[in-house]
Amino acid sequence: MLRAVPDRELDDILSGVSRSFYLSLAILPSAVRTQLSVAYLVARAADTIADTHAVAAEHRRSLLDGLRGAIDDPRRGGEIAREVALRLEGATPNPKERVLLERLGECLAILGRASCEDGARIRRVLGALITGMERDLARFPGTGGPAVALGSLAELDEHCYLAAGCVGEFWTEMTAAHVPSVAHLGQPDLIARGVRLGKALQMINVIRDAPADLVEGRCYVPAPLLARHALTVADLVDPMRRGRAGALLDELRGIALDHVDAAWPYVEAIPATTPRLRLACIWPLWIGLATLARLVVSPDPLDPRAPVKVARREVYRLVAESAAVVTIGPLLLRSHQKRRAAAEGAR
């Protein structure tokens, strides 16, 4: 069994590198909080490695491979943590991410104390996440050339699974194993809905982050979908032509909302007697819907100079509203439907 780590030992790092996800982690039952928090921190460290453009892509791939080895063999944790610190020294401008990388060895050591069952789950989800990062490094060389699109809708779905759907699966399996009141979440149909929740969040990220990704040479919109709307990657970048992408963005939003609809019964399957666990799922889902609602009314959702972001005060209102209705099924559903309608807009 993984020894529970005092919350304060992880909270400073977690709150620095995550805003919305930290809200969910902070209210998790103690039986799973350490496992999920440390797995998130290692995944976030891997993401920082993958996104540090000041380091050549082949070196980043080497570091990710080394991190994968340390996850499989905790005795290598100190070695890879030192190598990451050496290779990325001065290359990571975010001070919170630097702190995370400095404490990567501690996080890997904590993972090394997991039970056999938890260790297997953690290795599986981190392996999937790192595989997704490696595929992105191979697809998008980031050499300053034009953005490259994904090849198919199947590749987009796989990206959403490897970036977040696998996290929904891991979250579901871990809570079902350790929280008796939600053991039923381990049923295959509910695990599948947990995957859809993760995919919903990642699809929203794909839409929200499209302007910044295009600047970095990444386009997660599949080429066949662009062709169906008579668009090219260059059209999405050009200020004079990207206004034609409205129908494309509507279709992408529709994919995200289909995942949201498949995921909502998962939220309702969490008993009202376990409100904190319900809220931990509701908050990222509703923040995602609020993001889509802002994109609906944005005059130019592909403008990299005006990124869409849910304001902190709106997050606070969302938290307060959800806490008031979380145990009252009809009111909770009504609040969710209102937010979903705003996210759908005139689609």
Helix (H) or strand (E) holding 189: helix 188-208
Q: In which residue ranges of the chain is pLDDT below 70?
A: 1-9, 19, 142-144, 346-347
- Which DSSP letter does residue 6 get? P
Contact 305, 210 (CB under 8 A): no
pLDDT at 161: 98
**Which residues form the domain of 51?**
1-139
**Helix/strand/coil for 224:** helix
Check whether residue 193 and residue 121 sit in a common domain: no
Q: How many domains does the chain have?
A: 2
For 99-118, how does the pLDDT look when each residue is reduced to its tens digit (9 = 90+)? 888 889 989 998 989 999 99
* Domain end (from 109, 139, 169): 139
Question: Based on the domain organization, do 82 and 172 belong to the same domain?
Answer: no
Rounded distance between C-alpha atoms, residue 334 and residue 181, angstroms: 25
Answer yes or no: do 106 and 21 share one domain. Answer: yes
Whether 295 and 176 map to the same domain: the answer is yes
For residues 170 and 129, membership in a common domain is answered with: no
Residue 268 belongs to domain with CATH number:
1.10.600.10
Are 127 and 150 in a shared domain? Answer: no
Task: Report pLDDT for 99.
Answer: 85
Q: Are residues 98 and 159 in the same domain?
A: no
- Whether 107 and 194 map to the same domain: the answer is no
Q: Of 139, 162, 177, which residue constitutes the final position of a domain?
A: 139
**Cα dihedral 301, 310, 133, 177 sign:** negative
Beta bridge pairs of residue 309: none
Residues in the chain: 347
CA–chain centroid gap for 340, Å, is 20
Q: Where among 80, 104, 139 does a domain terminate?
A: 139
Residue 241 tokens read as 């032509």
The pLDDT, as a whole number, for residue 1 is 46
Q: Which pLDDT does position 330 carry in this prediction? A: 96
Please tell me the distance from the alpha carbon of residue 14 to that of residue 99, in angstroms, as a whole number: 10
In a shared domain, residues 102 and 180: no
Structure tokens, 208: 């929200």
Q: What is the pLDDT of residue 143?
A: 60
Give me the numbers of helices (H) and strands (E) for the chain, helices first please. Answer: 18, 2
- Quick one: 82 and 217 in the same domain? no
* Partner residues linked to 219 by β-bridges: 149
Residues 118 and 157 placed together within one structural domain of the fold? no
Give residue 247's pLDDT: 96
Same domain, 163 and 286: yes
